[in-house]
Structure 1
Amino acid sequence: MSGVGGGSAAADPIIDGKKLLADPVSADGSKITKAEMKDDRNIRLYVYSAAMGATYPVDVQRPADASVPRPTLYLLNGAGGGQDDASWVKKTNIVNGFLGDKNVNVVQPIGGKWSYYQDWDNDDPVLGRNKWTTFFSQELPPLIDGALGTNGVNAIAGISTSGTTVLTLAEAKPDLYKSVAAYSGCAQMADPQGQEFMRLTVETWGGGKLENMYGPSDSPEWAEHDPVINAEKLRGMNLYISSGSGLPGQWDTLNGPYTLPGGYGLANQIVVGGIIEAGTNFCSHNLANKLNSLGIPATYDFPPTGTHSWGYWNDEFIKSWPVLAQGLGI
């Protein structure tokens, strides 16, 4: 990889100069239209989704040692889809720091805000066409595997709304991910509480219409996609489920490293973030009860404090790493 930089990626076998050697195409015609070498470890891919008829950025951090095929961690952002400042890269030191010496491809798609990364039944006047389950389960993996020369072993992790998504994706294609980590997600989609969370995200924050996802609230499609109802499909995966209690904790301090700025920011994090986290805690315990009833093992972390905020997700990712790494084989 001449002209890009030094380090372990200098001998990266997938790259010639600033171009990817492979040019894979998914079964439906999805493809990588461009690759930008950001530095010697990081690549931004532009991926055309045939299902959505649009191109989306996908950020990749290559393994510390890329000389042999390595596994892939799909790391999902929250409700804003990484299109805002609320992302793993901007709010934590997980990607560039903690994962910096790990032999894993870290893949972060950018896009799909307020969509819950689902395959919506209808195009939304505000949020457009959303076919994200297809993107994640059928379009993107063969492109990542083909272009990056991976070993085909995958794990997935996500926060907040994506804490729901990682479970629905794993249930949609159970053979795709070996490990799944869900931080502060509500695993319920078919009951009133779960739908209230989704309505808050899709309609209040996103301006879309929730019925365009899976129809009216009594539609059987909601149950068909509900992670708790379909928990049996998680059998055999390495699972990590976490949520704080909603009570303020160590990262809820005025102008702290993971706190929204100023007194208003702190109050918002404690009040709104506390209410949301208490709700996800309820959902996560319901998922735990269902998994336990089915005899499906999982690792849980339900600390006595913690709001819906980045300091706790930073901590939870580190706690979950042994579970993720076990599935990834590293």
Structure 2
Amino acid sequence: MRTLRRKRGPVQTAARRSWVRRLAAGVSMALLVPMTAVVAGTTAPAAAGFNPAAFDFWVDSGMGPIKSRILRAADGNTNRVVYVLDGMRAPEHLNGWEIETDVPNALARANINVVMPVGGMSSFYADWNAPSEFFGIPGNGPANSGSGAGNALSGGPGKSYRYQWETFLTSDLRNALADRLGFNRHRNGVFGLSMGGSAALTLAAYHPDQFSFAGAYSGYLNISAPGMREAIRLAMLDAGGYNVDSMAPPWGPQWLRMDPFVFAPNLVANNTRLWIAAASGLPTGGDGPNMNTVNGMALEALALANTRSFEVRMATLGARNVTYSYPPFGIHAWNNWNDEALRMIPDLSNNIG
């Protein structure tokens, strides 16, 4: 087990002295604000956006045709593959990592094939219990805009049909990548931010033959902790108007199966190589003075509390397969996740293929 710590100057040291007080305040705030992957006034890297080197890869599934974006490894190998998961507001046209960062290109330069599933807003990349609905009324209005509880009765992904993302990623997509592109079915990597970080650990825990590496940035790794289900309920309402009860009934086997704190023994037994990260919630110089930054601070504080809890849980299990990264500055925002991915790439590269 390794913990990455960066050298701190006087300002950082003072900030760390007040960490406990700020964290407690942040957790309280986070339970009151939606748990969404906000872009907190940051500027994405210059090369971010639609990448003409990537191509659309459509695969049929129980949800209908699903698009992924594929970026081939620079050296043309088909053995080294990573799945890159989005956050709660995952749009239907591109994966957020392609929109907001240059990380896919960095992965390709490291001779890793990049698989970017598109869509799955608020899905946690899980197989849901039922289509999202409220009071027995399915969504059938205009498609979700992705903003606000007003979308609760709108149509859109996961409302006229049941989300089946775990099945898609571990069967439909996996097999299509192997059959049509020759990609390795085994010893793949998977990582993601926020919702996608939690999902990456879930996929690795239950599909160790497919995933030898998993990374979670700002993930919610103790979702059965007091208040977490209701925080997730608010977040899913805000991110497309989804009902957490349609995903998994409260506190039942399906919900507990999604909780990294609960399934941590699987990750230890599988000896899955893990990269677990959460920042302090203190803004960087690039995070503007606005409400996105305030929300991002609170959300990251909640993610940090979850991550520290998960670290303790793994320690009690004797885990030696984890690197923890705790940057002294960073909020729930793309600049934080971009930097974390760049730190992680060498470890990912050494543990796949």
Q: How far, CA to CA, are the matches of 1:151 and 1:225 in structure 2?
A: 26
Q: Does 1:234 align with 2:258?
A: no
Q: Does 1:47 align with 2:59?
A: yes
Aligned pairs for 1:189-208 (under 5 A) are 189-208=223-242
- Which secondary structure does the structure 1 equivalent of 2:104 belong to? coil
Aligned counterpart in structure 2 of residue 138 of structure 1, from 171, 194, 197: 171
Kindly indicate whether structure 1 or structure 2 has the higher relative contact order, using CA contacts under 8 Å at least 6 residues apart: 2
Partner of 2:221: 187
Report deviation, 1:73. 0.6
Partner of 2:293: 270
Partner of 1:299: 323
Partner of 1:111: 119
Report deviation, 1:149. 1.2
Residue identity opposite 2:84 in structure 1:
L
Are the counterparts in 2 of residues 62 and 104 from structure 1 also a CA contact under 8 Å?
A: yes
Contiguous gaps of at least 5 residues in structure 1? 1-37, 254-265
Report deviation, 1:170. 1.2
Residue identity opposite 2:80 in structure 1:
P
CA offset digits 1:62-106 (Å, max 9, x no partner): 11121x43211101111122437871112111113x224222210
Partner of 1:10: none
Q: TM-score, structure 1 length as denominator?
A: 0.78
Are the counterparts in 1 of residues 110 and 349 from structure 2 also a CA contact under 8 Å?
A: no
Partner of 2:74: 64
- Which secondary structure does the structure 1 equivalent of 2:103 belong to? coil
Are the counterparts in 2 of residues 85 and 91 from structure 1 also a CA contact under 8 Å?
A: no
Go from structure 1 to structure 2 and tell me whether the alpha carbon gap of 1:321 and 1:137 turns closer, same or farther (over 3 Å shift): same
Are the counterparts in 2 of residues 269 and 307 from structure 1 also a CA contact under 8 Å?
A: no
Aligned pairs for 1:57-136 (under 5 A) are 57-66=67-76, 68-83=77-92, 87-96=96-105, 98-124=106-132, 125-126=138-139, 127-128=158-159, 129-136=162-169
CA offset digits 1:272-292 (Å, max 9, x no partner): 000000000000111111111
Aligned pairs for 1:241-280 (under 5 A) are 241-253=276-288, 266-280=289-303
Which stretches of structure 1, 4 residues or more, deviate above 6 A after TM superposition?
Answer: none
Are the counterparts in 2 of residues 277 and 307 from structure 1 also a CA contact under 8 Å?
A: yes
Superposed CA RMSD: 1.8
Go from structure 1 to structure 2 and tell me whether the alpha carbon gap of 1:251 and 1:188 turns closer, same or farther (over 3 Å shift): same
Contiguous gaps of at least 5 residues in structure 2? 1-50, 133-137, 140-157
- Which secondary structure does the structure 2 equivalent of 1:185 belong to? coil
Q: Does 1:287 align with 2:299?
A: no
Are the counterparts in 2 of residues 244 and 281 from structure 1 also a CA contact under 8 Å?
A: yes
CA offset digits 1:177-228 (Å, max 9, x no partner): 111110011112223333133212222322121111111x233432232111
Are the counterparts in 1 of residues 60 and 172 from structure 2 also a CA contact under 8 Å?
A: no
Report deviation, 1:250. 3.4
Residue identity opposite 1:280 in structure 2:
A
Are the counterparts in 2 of residues 44 and 58 from structure 1 also a CA contact under 8 Å?
A: yes
Q: How far, CA to CA, are the matches of 2:180 and 2:246 in structure 1?
A: 34
CA offset digits 1:274-328 (Å, max 9, x no partner): 0000000000111111111111121001122211001111110011112211111
Of 272-281 and 101-110, deviating more is: 101-110
Residue identity opposite 1:279 in structure 2:
L
Are the counterparts in 2 of residues 75 and 107 from structure 1 also a CA contact under 8 Å?
A: yes
CA offset digits 1:128-163 (Å, max 9, x no partner): 220111111222111112211123330001001111
Partner of 1:174: 208
Q: TM-score, structure 2 length as denominator?
A: 0.73
Partner of 1:211: 245
Partner of 1:151: 184
Query: How high is the sequence identity, in percent, across the aligned residues?
Result: 32
